[in-house]
Every structure is written in structure tokens, then in C-alpha cells.
Structure 1
Amino acid sequence: MKNINVVIVGMGQRGLTVLERLRAVLSERRLGTGMDLHLVDPSTPGQGIHEWSQPEHLLVNTIAAQITMYCDESVVDSGPVLPGLSFLEWAHERGYKKLGSRFVISDEGEPVEENTYLPRAVLGEYLTWVYDQLLEDMPDYVNVINHRRAAVDISPVADNRIDVTLEGGFKIDADYVFMTMGHSLGGKDSFDRKVENWVVSARAGNSHMAYFRTPYPISSLNSISAQAKVAICGTGLTAADAISALTIGLGGRFEKLSFDRYRYIPCGREPRITMFSRQGLPAGGRAVNQKGTYGQYKAKFFTRDFVDACCSKNQIDRGNAQLDFDRDLWPTLKKEMAYVYSSSVSGEWADPTTYQVEPEVDAAIDLLMVPAEHLTFADQKEYKNFIRQHLVEDIADCFGGNVDNPRKAAADILRDIRDNIRHAVDYCRLTPASHQRFLSYWCSISNRIASGPPKERNMEMLALIDAGILTFFGPKPELGYDEKNQRFTLSTDRFGHPASEAFDVLIRAKVDLFEPEASPSPLIRSMIASGAITPFRNGAFKPSGIDITPEVNVIQRDGEVIRNLWALGYVVEGAHFYTYVLPRPYSNSRGLQDAGRAVIAMVDDIAVCHGEDQSPNVAVA
């Protein structure tokens, strides 16, 4: 009997979750046929954007204890649980220690703790270790074939077959396919094209002029001259990487002055850096974790039942179940944050059945969300002083902890109850207009206060400000081009008089949205052209990604569902909110859930077509 062909296109973190669930499901169910498992990815297996070749100064944004690639008992309806090491457990077993400012495999040094932020390169090593373990433990009737090439087309053909074409023309005749590609799918947008045209017109008169639509690979920033003035668009995690590359990466270093203060010792090769964003504020640092390895806040008000009740009420009152985030959801989410804030202030949990938000707490949440909204500044100097004080207070809040400090406690629940927020957003539960505002306005605020970098990054930022290396431009800036002087410009009218600044290099430090119709990926272009995929839409609004069913099956342009083709992760970011995060232990991870259910659907279908071997399954180690 001919083996069935299963293909996973993309072997980064999402492909790894599919592989883990396949290995787990096959530990309990021995198929009545052999399987050729084709793994398609030109990069290092498992790592995706976490390449182990990255410099050590680039850190993971999540503490070591809150990352795993294995299921646990919290992940429901997704197949059996098989044991596997979390990132922290693996780091301990591997022998990683902190020796000075480095993390190395050594008998000396400080042990890696649950709240340690490890280098991204070390995470890449863990991901590839997981990959190797999974392949080693696969049943003997699964034949694994690695294709170190990119896929250029996935095309449904007759008799429920799918042709997967690789670079060079090699074709796989597949029975089942999983699309788990990552950030390489993004393409240039109108902003990129406009700025690149400015650079082309300026280079003859300004040799420093350059535009980086992404700072990755981070080594690309080595081409920036110390004489250039640099502007970084964005103030979050990607911006923190760019700053690190232009300081530590060039040979500068930070000297510890006290538990919460650094001093920067420059190497002399650093350019001067200006950061800017719509909000004009640095991202809040991650507070000291006081919740333990697995602790998470459980919503009292903003529950899935609450969201469902809102949809039902809207259907009755307005004839449309879609929600308006600001009108229907934000007041209750704000109450949730206020409840945690109040309980942190008092030191004990209030009774949720009688809790009422006091005016001063309501104002505190407003200030947390938009701290500069109603402030006025005479000039840039006054604004820069405000930013410095804002960082000082944020660092103090971080050391206060994510339970004891009211602001950090209130912000941190946005991570803890993210699945409830997903329940309110996914699959067009918001109206098109509200969905667009949610992504452009609310998410940027949520990311700033709840998904910022480790607190040490903000300590570094403060030291760089004091060293005269780094500064912030004002809020609501306008980007322009000075044709006469052949430089970029920033301007704002938020001060007592108009302010502007010129610079030579622009780094766009934001996560790209995946717009299928603009993607340069040959795979996406082919599938869009053939109608095998179509952009996900909420009315006339296209949030991002491709269209899928709740079972994560791909929907074609004609509306037909491809039952043997699944898509997970970044490629479906529009239908699914916040696909970027790695699985977290004991949190019923959405990524593992989706992977498990898709794998179970495939195995069920194989069983219908080929039966199951009822003999004891002894093939899995």
C-alpha cells in the first residue's frame, strides 16, 4: 500500500506545534497505513525568527519559565499529553548558567531562574532540540523527509489531492497539508515605497541616507555610520532590539550603578538615535514576576460568557451580533483592570459581586492607558524631561512587581486574559469599523503597557538618554522629506510652537501585518492568483492574513473549504488575534489547541480511509 503524504510547510514555532501534536496523537493511535511526513523549510528546523546565530544581546521577551513547546493537562480537546521539557527545564538540564553578562554552558556561574530572560539564540537552540526529540520519537511507520527549500505553490487538484511545489520544480503529491509559515511572508506597503523613493533621490547628496523596513537580520544595522543621525519608528520590542544593536552590538556596555540604575559606557561608534511613535512613549517594562511559574489571573467580569451575552444582546437590540469594542467591551475590560488595581492597593481581593469602580481608580486606569493625552508641553526639552521621568517611574513600578504594584498588576492581566479578548475579536465578532480601531488604536496601547521588554531594557534606555545617545520625539509626529538638504524630517504641532528634527537613517521597528495581496512570497502570490487562498475580510476591512474556518481549514476564493489543508499562526493573524506568542505552560495555549484539533481531524480522516491498526502501539519511545 502506498504511504500517505503529509506536508508541513514552515518549520518554525507553529510547524513545531503541529509536529508535537502529531507525535502525541500517534502515540495512542497506530494508523493502518504508512506515512511520509514532508517538512518544508529552507531555514534551521524549529527556530523560525529565533535563529541561534543571533547575537547574545537580543533577549527573549518572556521569562524562561513561561515558554514550552509541549502540551500539558490544561490544553483541552487537543490530544494526549506526552511529557517534554519546558524552556526552563531544558536550560537547567543543558547546564546553562549566567556568567557575568553572558549565558553559557558551565559548572560555574549563577543558575538560570524562572524569571530569567534568556538570549533569543538560546531559545532557538531549545526549539531545534525539541524538533530533534520529536523526530526521534516518531513511530517507525512515519518516514520523515526534510526539504530544505521553500514552497512556491500549494494547489488543490482532483480527487482531494494537493500539489505542493518546491523551489526548483520538485512536486509533492500530498494527502494533507499544514501551512505554518511565519514573518517572511510580509511585503512592502505604500509607506515603504514612498520612503525608498526618498532614499534613492537623496543618496547622491547624502551618503548616510538609508531606510530599513525591518531591523532584521540585526547585522544589517552594522552599515549605519556613527556620523548618521538615526530615527527609529516604533518604541516596542523590535525597537529595543534595534537600540541594542546600535549600542551593545557596536561595543558599548552598561555599568551597574545600583539595583535599578545603569550607566552607559560608549564605544564611540554609536550614532545618535531618536525614537518616535504615535503615542510618543516608551513601552512599559515587564515587572518582577510575583505570580510564580504558572500563576495567571482569572477574569471576574470580562469572561467568555460575558462576551457571548453581549453578542446575544446586540442581536436582539440591533439585529447584528457584532460588537463595538469601545461601547460594548471596553467598560467591562476597564472594570477588570480597575478591580485588580484596587485589590493591589488594598492588599486583598475585593468581593467581585459588590465591586464598584471608584472615581480615582477609574482615573488611574485612564492615566495608565494614555498618560500624556491631556498634557501640554512648551517645547521638546520639556517633553524629553517628561519622558525621562516617565521611565524612572516605570522602572520603579517594575521592581514593585506584577501583583504588588497596582499599575503593573492592572496591565499584566491583559496578558493573562488574552484568550478572552481573542474570544471577543476572532472571526469578525467586532464590527468592521470597531475591528479596525481595535487593531490600530487599542492594540498599540495594550502592547505598550502589557507586552513591553524586560525592565532591564528600560534601565538601559534611561542610561542612554542620560548619556546623550538616545532621545524621544514628541507625540503624533509627521514624517517628511527635506528635498533641499536631502534628509528625513520629523515634525509635530503638540508643543507651544512647531518643532522639527532632521535625520539620515530611518528604521521601521514594527511587526509587519501580513497582507496576502501585497506579499512578495512566491507561494502566497501563486495561491492568491489561483484562488486557493483569499484574504480574510470583516466586511470591507481586511485585518490581515488569509481566510479560514474555526477549524483552521483554508477557505478558497470561491468560498469552498479545503478539508485537508489547514493554516495556523502568523498566516491567519486576521482571523486569529495575537498569534505571535509561544505556548505558555498550564495556560491552555491557543497555538497548541489549534494544532491538536487539526491533527486529530487529519488522523480521524486517515482512519476512515485506511482504518487503524489495533495491535499494541510499541513504536513510540
Structure 2
Amino acid sequence: MNNVSVVIVGMGQRGLTLLERLQAVLSERELEVGIDLHLIDPSTPGQGIHEWTQPEHLLVNTIAAQVTMYCDESVTDSGPILPGSSLLEWALEQGYKKLDGRYVISDVGEPIDENTYLPRAVMGKYLTWVYDRLIEGLPDYVTVFNHRRDAVSIVPLDNDRIEVQLDGGFRIDADYVFMTMGHSLGGKDSFDRKFDELVNNGKSGNSHLAYFRMPYPITALNSISSQAKVAICGTGLTATDAISALTLGVGGKFEKISSTRYQYIPCGREPKIIVFSRQGLPAGGRAVNQKGTYGQYKAKFFTRDFVDLSRQNNLRERGNEQMDFDRDLWPTLKKEMAYVYSSSLKGEFADPATYQVEPEIAAAIDSLMVPVANLTFADQEDYREYVRQHLEADIADCFGGNVNNPRKAASDILRDIRDNIRHAVDYGRLTPESHRRFLSYWCSISNRVASGPPKERNMEMAALIDAGVVSFFGPKPDIGYDEACCRFTLSTDRFAEPVAEKFDVLIRAKVDLFEPESSPAPLIRNMLAAGVIKPFRNGDFKPSGIDVDGAVNVIDRNGKVIRNLWALGYVVEGAHFYTYVLPRPYSNSRGLQDAGRAVVTMVRDIAQRSEVDQPLDYAAV
């Protein structure tokens, strides 16, 4: 039979996991047919958002020891294990050290260790090293075609094949296709369109007026004048990137004046920065890791069995398996956090069978999650002093560690048991109303508490506040526009007297959701028009992403599962929860699982087809 044609659209981190699984599976199962492997991505293979050309002040938000592109014994039902280096192991093998504030290959300098937060540019070099190693390790009967273009159409044909068209008209007649496209799919929403229009109409009256729907590529912020006043909407990881670009990125420096404190040395090119969000607080920093390289907390209460039982109870009592997060799940998740908090406080784990949440511990968890819920502030200065003290307390907590400090220990388990949360949320397992609230309210709190930046970023934030470069506006502000002076406005009535400020530049520092119907990507527009894909829906709620089944096969407009078309990662954020994270060693990483199972299925199909030399009957799979 003719060679089998396999296409991977998107060769960032998710595409790389597919390539890794393909090499691993083929290392143990030699096929009787050749494979033409088409890799489609206009960017450097493997890197995705971790481009090696980006500034070194942008850091990976995970310690080096907790990033890998290779499966290990913990990853189940995903094919054989292919030995390979984690990010830390690779960086040590290459000889990376910290020298004069930069990470370089050198014989001298400060050694890196398992808890080092490496630059994303270095991560990009690791990803490309993995890519090169995987390509070299493929068997001889695999021929690789590297297409540095975008795909603009993917259409199943009547003969169970799939036509993939590239920008410029080149077509590939494929047997199997994997979609792993990334953040370039996101489009503008009504907020973006409104502020774009305000800028277009007002920039003739204010040369500094600008709106950034996201701060990436980070070099786009180079156009901001030091004379502009900048407001950043958001206080999480994206906001810290923007702040870093407008301070370190323009020539400012931080000097360490104690083990927990920095001083900022301005260069004079920094704009004034004001930060705001609904919660009005900076994200909590990542604590010193005390769990070792592979240590993870294992849930005692919020287990998969608990989630399954909750679904069964809902089916029995309400006639529907869908759960309400606040009613069915949060009390037990809160108990899990309280258990860890209490155990950390006492220095030993209590017996889960008899553990009861003490009222003071429950109050501590409530304060951790929503610290300003019952606070009032006399004025903006009172609020800003609170934020500064909150930062100092958070930095101290970070140095206490993610085991010994009760607040950080309780926060960190939200990362450790994220797969259990996924089990409760994925594929519309919450009611539409609860799903909407979970994403808009609970996730923003969880991200602030558990998925913040390295503690050094919060030390930098405190130094920037002290230097008068950064300030916080206040919780739940309103954003407006003053036509008379062509400037944006922030206002709030959360203080005793209303407060308002004007500014020139608005940066929207948020996770860019992929809403298929508003995506500017020709590929998505064409696939929607042809009915090949449809937005994922949970009742009347469309969280984001496209619809897939449990095997990550694409579901078309008519509800048909396309057995030889898979979608993984950001493109299915909605059906899946929190697809942004990198694979973690010895954690049975969801991303590696999905890739492995899809590749195992494909290789099994290829083997069957080559044995009988006829098209596979997908209805029988």
C-alpha cells in the first residue's frame, strides 16, 4: 500500500508531545508501511510561545525540575517510555549558569538547581533540542516534511481521508490529522473592539493614546512613551510580564538589599504604571519548593471517587449528573485545603478518617481565598498601604515554603490536585450556570492564590511600589474615557470618597480565550463554515474552544465524531480545563496522556490497515 500520510498542525509544545509519543510507540512497533509526516507551523519547530528570541526577563513560571517533554512511568495507557531529559537535566547537561543576571552556558557563575525559574528563551532552546532529538530518532520509514506555513483548511473527504490546505494553496491528502494550534487563534471581543475604536478616534488628540488587547509579542510595548501613564488590567502572570517589559525591559535594574528585599534603580525611561483588577490584589508568589523534584500532595477528600460519587448523587436526586461547584464541590475542596493548612500549622498530618475542619481554620481559608471581602478602606492611600503590607506578608509566606507555611501549603495543593478538578469540570460536568461562575469567579481566585509568579516577581513589585513606578488603583474599578482630553479613566466608589484617575495606555493582561466564532484565523473560519468543527457548548454556555469527545477526536457540526482527526491543548480549552500548563515529571500529566492515547490509537489503526491493505472501518473502532 502507499505511504500513510500524518499531519500535525501546530508544532509548539503540544505538537512536540505528539512527536515524542510517535517516536516512542514506533520504537517498539515497526510498521509494514512508510509514513509521510507533515509538520505544519510557520515558527521555529517546538517552541510555540517559548520563542528563543524573546527577552530574558520573561521567565517560565514553573521551576526547572517540574518541566519535561518526555513521558515517564507515571503516565498511564500512553505507550512505551522513551528516556529523555527534563528541562533541568538538559540545562545542567548544557552547562547553564547564572552570570551577571543572565543564564548562559559557562564554566563560571551561579549554578542552577531544581528550583530555578529559567527564562522562556532558554525553555525555547530546550524545546527545539527535544524536537531535533526526536526527529533524529524516528525510524527510516518515516519521512518528515517541515512546512513553515499556516494551515488554512482541514476538510474530511468521502474516502475517510482529510485534505489539509496550506497558505499559498499547497494541499496534503492525509490519513490522520492532529490539531494543536496555540494562542494565535484568539480573536477580539466586544471590549477589544470598543477600545480600539476609542483609540482610533482619539489618537489625533493624544499621541500617547494606545490600547493593547494583550502584551504579546512583548516587544510591542516598546512603542509606549515614558511620558505616558499606563494602566494594566490584571494582576497575574501576564501583568507581571508587562510590568517587567516596562521596567527591566527598558533598562531598569533591581539590586538585592536583603534576602527578602530588592531596591529598584530606575533608568528614566519607565512610564508610570497603575495596576487594577476585580480582586485588586497582586497574585500570590510561588513559595520555596519543599516537596523535592517530584513531590506532590495526594488528595484525601477531593478525589476522583468523590467526584464520581457527587455525579451519581446528582443523577439520583436531581435527574442530572451535572454538578454545582459551590454546592457539590467547593465544601470538600475547602476541607482539603483546611486539612493541609491545619497539618502544616501543627507540623504533622492529621488522620483523614477523623479530621474535622476547625472554625478558625475555615476562616483562614476564606481569608486566603478572598482577603478583602469584609475589609473597608478610608481612602486610596489606606488601600495602597494594605496592598503593600499584603505583598510583604506574601513574600514572607513564600520564604516559609510550600510545606511549612500553612497558607502556601494550602494554596499549592490546588496545583497538585488539578487533575481531580479537571475530572470534575471537563466535558461540561458542571451545570451551565455553575460552569460560567467557575471560570469567571473561582478560577480568577485560584489563579491568584496558586498560580502566581516566582516570589522574586513579588519582591520586584514591592520595590517598584517603593520607587513610585507602580501603584494599585483599587478593587472593582470602572473603566471609562474622557473625550475632552482623549484619555482613559479609572473610577471607584469603594472608598469613603469616590476616586478617579486618567491614563493614556491600557494593557489588557489576561489569558486570551479562543472563541471559535470570533477567531481571525482562516483555518478556524473555514472549518466552522464547512461544519468540520463546532464550538464546545455546555447547554447555553460556550466556555471556549471546539468540541471533542473523550478520546480528543473532533466532533463536527452534525455531532459526528471524526475518528482520524484529533485536537489537543489550547484549541479545546473549554471541553478541557487548564490546558496551558507544561508537562510535569512523575505526575501522569494530562497533556502527555492525551497525546499518547491518540498516537497509540493511530499506530494501531495503521498496523491494521497495512495488514489488510484496505481502508479502516472507523465505525468498528
User: Which category of TM-score, normalised to the shorter sequence, fits these structures?
Assistant: over 0.9
Q: Which residue identity lines up with residue 278 of structure 1 in the other structure? A: R
Which residue pairs with 1:25 in the alignment? 25
Separation (CA, whole Å) in 2 of partners of 1:212 and 1:515: 19
Separation (CA, whole Å) in 2 of partners of 1:368 and 1:555: 40
Separation (CA, whole Å) in 2 of partners of 1:231 and 1:419: 35
Which residue pairs with 1:281 in the alignment? 281
Q: Is the 8 A contact 1:548 1:555 kept in 2?
A: yes
Separation (CA, whole Å) in 1 of partners of 2:384 and 2:198: 28
The structural deviation recorded for 1:100 is 2.5
Q: Which residue identity lines up with residue 365 of structure 1 in the other structure? A: I
Which residue pairs with 1:252 in the alignment? 252
Separation (CA, whole Å) in 2 of partners of 1:428 and 1:552: 14
Q: Is the 8 A contact 1:338 1:362 kept in 2?
A: yes
Q: Which residue identity lines up with residue 492 of structure 2 in the other structure? A: T
Alignment of 1:557-568 (within 5 A): 557-568=557-568
Separation (CA, whole Å) in 2 of partners of 1:479 and 1:293: 44
Alignment of 1:502-541 (within 5 A): 502-541=502-541
Which residue pairs with 2:343 in the alignment? 343
Q: Which residue identity lines up with residue 43 of structure 1 in the other structure? A: S
Which residue pairs with 1:392 in the alignment? 392
CA offsets 1:214-269 (integer angstroms, 9 cap, x no match): 11111110110011000001100011010000001100000110000000000000
Q: Which residue identity lines up with residue 428 of structure 1 in the other structure? A: G
CA offsets 1:393-434 (integer angstroms, 9 cap, x no match): 000000000000000000000000000000000011100000
Separation (CA, whole Å) in 2 of partners of 1:439 and 1:82: 36
The structural deviation recorded for 1:607 is 1.3
Q: Which residue identity lines up with residue 573 of structure 1 in the other structure? A: E
Q: Which residue identity lines up with residue 120 of structure 1 in the other structure? A: R
The structural deviation recorded for 1:198 is 0.8
2:392 is equivalent to residue 403 of structure 1: no
TM-score after normalising by structure 2: 0.98
Matched position secondary structure for 1:442: helix
RMSD over aligned Cα atoms = 0.8
Matched position secondary structure for 2:475: coil
CA offsets 1:177-215 (integer angstroms, 9 cap, x no match): 000000000000000000011111111110000011111
Which residue pairs with 1:202 in the alignment? 202
Separation (CA, whole Å) in 2 of partners of 1:419 and 1:496: 43
CA offsets 1:346-384 (integer angstroms, 9 cap, x no match): 000000000000000000000000001110111111100
Which residue pairs with 1:618 in the alignment? none
Separation (CA, whole Å) in 1 of partners of 2:192 and 2:160: 40
Separation (CA, whole Å) in 2 of partners of 1:106 and 1:486: 51
The structural deviation recorded for 1:174 is 0.2
Matched position secondary structure for 1:135: helix
Separation (CA, whole Å) in 2 of partners of 1:492 and 1:406: 34
Matched position secondary structure for 1:268: coil
Matched position secondary structure for 1:327: helix
Separation (CA, whole Å) in 2 of partners of 1:544 and 1:64: 30
The structural deviation recorded for 1:314 is 0.5
Separation (CA, whole Å) in 2 of partners of 1:99 and 1:63: 18
Separation (CA, whole Å) in 2 of partners of 1:412 and 1:577: 18
Separation (CA, whole Å) in 1 of partners of 2:472 and 2:611: 64
Which residue pairs with 1:96 in the alignment? 96
Alignment of 1:515-594 (within 5 A): 515-594=515-594
Matched position secondary structure for 2:45: coil
Separation (CA, whole Å) in 2 of partners of 1:463 and 1:342: 32
Q: Is the 8 A contact 1:32 1:612 kept in 2?
A: no
2:69 is equivalent to residue 59 of structure 1: no
Q: In structure 1, list runs of 5 or more residues that go unmatched.
A: 614-621
The structural deviation recorded for 1:112 is 1.0
Q: Which residue identity lines up with residue 445 of structure 1 in the other structure? A: I
Which residue pairs with 2:240 in the alignment? 240
Separation (CA, whole Å) in 1 of partners of 2:374 and 2:346: 28
The structural deviation recorded for 1:516 is 0.2
2:418 is equivalent to residue 418 of structure 1: yes
Alignment of 1:447-466 (within 5 A): 447-466=447-466
Separation (CA, whole Å) in 2 of partners of 1:100 and 1:320: 59
Q: Is the 8 A contact 1:192 1:213 kept in 2?
A: yes
Q: Is the 8 A contact 1:287 1:401 kept in 2?
A: yes
Q: Which residue identity lines up with residue 472 of structure 1 in the other structure? A: F
Which residue pairs with 1:161 in the alignment? 161
CA offsets 1:548-585 (integer angstroms, 9 cap, x no match): 00000000001111000000000000001000001000
Which residue pairs with 1:444 in the alignment? 444
The structural deviation recorded for 1:611 is 2.7
Separation (CA, whole Å) in 1 of partners of 2:395 and 2:573: 32
Q: Is the 8 A contact 1:274 1:470 kept in 2?
A: yes
Which residue pairs with 1:616 in the alignment? none
Separation (CA, whole Å) in 1 of partners of 2:14 and 2:409: 30
TM-score after normalising by structure 1: 0.98
Q: Which residue identity lines up with residue 61 of structure 1 in the other structure? A: N
The structural deviation recorded for 1:339 is 0.1
The count of residues paired between Structure 1 and Structure 2 equals: 613
Matched position secondary structure for 1:457: helix
Moved over 4 A (4+): none
2:474 is equivalent to residue 474 of structure 1: yes
2:184 is equivalent to residue 184 of structure 1: yes
2:177 is equivalent to residue 142 of structure 1: no
Matched position secondary structure for 1:280: coil
Which residue pairs with 2:363 in the alignment? 363
Separation (CA, whole Å) in 2 of partners of 1:321 and 1:215: 40
Q: Which residue identity lines up with residue 249 of structure 2 in the other structure? A: G
Matched position secondary structure for 1:314: helix
Matched position secondary structure for 2:427: coil
Which residue pairs with 2:616 in the alignment? none
Separation (CA, whole Å) in 2 of partners of 1:494 and 1:353: 44
Which residue pairs with 2:609 in the alignment? 609
Separation (CA, whole Å) in 2 of partners of 1:269 and 1:603: 56
The structural deviation recorded for 1:612 is 10
Q: Is the 8 A contact 1:29 1:612 kept in 2?
A: no
Which residue pairs with 2:77 in the alignment? 77
Q: Percent identity?
A: 77
Which residue pairs with 2:382 in the alignment? 382
Q: Which residue identity lines up with residue 214 of structure 1 in the other structure? A: M
Separation (CA, whole Å) in 2 of partners of 1:384 and 1:496: 14
Q: In structure 2, list runs of 5 or more residues that go unmatched.
A: 614-621
The structural deviation recorded for 1:111 is 1.3
Q: Is the 8 A contact 1:78 1:600 kept in 2?
A: yes
Matched position secondary structure for 1:342: helix
Q: Which residue identity lines up with residue 292 of structure 1 in the other structure? A: G
The structural deviation recorded for 1:15 is 0.2
Separation (CA, whole Å) in 2 of partners of 1:298 and 1:588: 13
2:352 is equivalent to residue 352 of structure 1: yes
Q: Is the 8 A contact 1:555 1:561 kept in 2?
A: yes
Separation (CA, whole Å) in 2 of partners of 1:398 and 1:576: 30
Q: Is the 8 A contact 1:414 1:446 kept in 2?
A: yes
Q: Is the 8 A contact 1:31 1:612 kept in 2?
A: no
CA offsets 1:559-618 (integer angstroms, 9 cap, x no match): 1110000000000000010000010000000000000000011111111111399xxxxx
Which residue pairs with 1:175 in the alignment? 175
Separation (CA, whole Å) in 2 of partners of 1:591 and 1:611: 31
Matched position secondary structure for 1:31: coil
Which residue pairs with 2:49 in the alignment? 49
Q: Which residue identity lines up with residue 484 of structure 1 in the other structure? A: A
Separation (CA, whole Å) in 1 of partners of 2:273 and 2:161: 53
Separation (CA, whole Å) in 2 of partners of 1:607 and 1:161: 17
